[in-house]
Amino acid sequence: MKLASFLLILFIGLCSIPAIQAETNDSTAVQTPEKSRFVLGGYGEAIVQRMFYSDNVQRYAYPESNKDATHGRFDLPHVVVYMAYDFGHGWKVSSEIEFEHGGTGSTYEIEKEETGEYETEIEKGGEVALEQFWIEKTFSDKAHLRMGHIIVPIGLTNQYHIPVEFFSVLRPEEESAILPCTWHQTGIGFWGKTKQWRYEAQFLSGLDAERFSNAGWIKDGAVSPYEFEIGNSYAGALRVDNYSVPGLRIGLSGYYGYSALNSLKWERYKNNNLKGSVSIGAFDAVYNAHNLLARTNVLYGHLVNSYAISMINKRLPSGSPASRTDLASDVISYYVEAGYDIFSLFPKCKNKGERLYVYGHYGFYDSMYKTDNRITPKSWSSKQIISGGINYFPLNDIVVKAEYTFRQFKAQYNDEPTISLGIAYSGLFIK
């Protein structure tokens, strides 16, 4: 009887082994980690530069007196923390907090040397900005609705502004000198993609003409010095990218909007029937194949009522954030750069995934390319940029950069050479 009971138990146990194994396998499949709904990442860059020219703000007015001056800088141009969360059902939220030049620092203290008075002191310069904050509803790959503070994708650098996406130590000067960079505003955007196309359209508030200048054109017009963006008039942005040719992306982008009424002193512009329309068109392309990486961007911009806006801005109160300078009606910018991965010639380096690009860059921009005939253009506004250097990628997400840049002016001004070194990263820590 005991033997029969033992055999019965053994039989039941043996028969149950496959079931237990199947259950264990099913359980393992269920416990396989799923893709996280929360994404955390960012990018950052640290640089050191030596400029072989004067940093005197009057150096263009008195070039001879500043001929042999030099200066240097250490900086953290951008450190960005990126966070996103997928709520499910097609809803997602994303944000980027940017610390420019190391952020800001201030203290509240008692000043012993001044009879114990309370003082607030600024201990370091820099900025902290919310570069992106948007909520997105995805209907399909071809249709996404994005609402909030978004990147305006005009030109090459605004669309591809992460430090591993350009060769230079700093963002390409030809764009960043005359456009907001990175250009971010609150608005509504619609975008989608197919196998060979990506498209995007945005509705935004217009720029603030009070913030325009002769050196930067509309550069500061997107950033409000107030607690809100003034939206008395509006703007639209469009971008289309094509990927039909393997390794090649071609992009067209455009912007149109009014700027004259988007300031606190808008009545001055309205009383003169000014709209200050801004129109921008840009072409850019990137080729990345056969160990060659090449980029180009061509941009042209036009401002209506440039003379009238200049005259009004010059008469604004001293406390205004206006530059009080003459404005150009037209600006132009273009550049081309190309680099070759010389590590691709050495199988040992190639197998490790390391890359070393040796590159060259040529560009031109003029922030006062054309002016109203009542405005005298500034001849220092026309600049050629010639540069070259290396980008070393020990990993895909880390780059070490070295660059020599030569900013060339017309004959009456001193040229401005610079040596720059930088290190940067870009990656996702949780994904």
Each residue of 189-203: pLDDT tens digit? 999 999 999 999 999
Average confidence score pLDDT of the chain: 88
Number of structural domains in the chain: 1
Residue 13 falls within a domain, yes or no? Answer: no
DSSP letters along 368-421, please? EEE--TTSPPPGGGEEEEEEEEEEEEEETTEEEEEEEEEEE--TTS--EEEEEE
Look up residue 155 and give its two tokens: 């030109």
Q: Give the C-alpha separation, 180 to 133, whole Å.
A: 17
Indicate whether 370 belongs to any domain.
Answer: yes
Residue 16 lies inside a defined structural domain of this protein: no
Q: How confident is the model at residue 115 (pLDDT cuts 50, 70, 90)?
A: low
Distance, CA of 351 to chain centre: 32
pLDDT score of 118:
60
What CATH code is carried by the domain that includes residue 413?
Answer: 2.40.160.10
* 26 found inside a domain: no
Lowest-pLDDT range of 164-168, 345-349, 390-394, 412-416: 345-349
Other Cβ atoms closer than 10 A to 4: 8
Residue 66 forms part of a structural domain = yes
3-state percent breakdown (helix, strand, coil) of the chain, nearest 5: 20, 50, 35
Domain that includes residue 376, residue range: 38-430
Q: Is 161 exposed, middle or buried (CB count within 10 Å of its CB: 0-12, 13-18, 19+)?
A: buried
Cα gap 170→276, rounded to integer Å? 31
Q: Confirm whether 249 is domain-assigned.
A: yes
Determine, yes or no, domain membership for 318.
yes
Distance CA 423, CA 76 (A): 10
- Is 371 within 8 Å of 382 (Cβ atoms)? no
Residue % of the chain over a pLDDT of 70: 88
Whether 11 maps to a domain, the answer reads no
Does residue 175 contact residue 297 with C-beta atoms inside 8 Å?
A: yes
- Check residues 26 and 366 and name the one with the higher pLDDT: 366
Cα–Cα distance for residue pair 352/68, rounded to 1 Å: 45
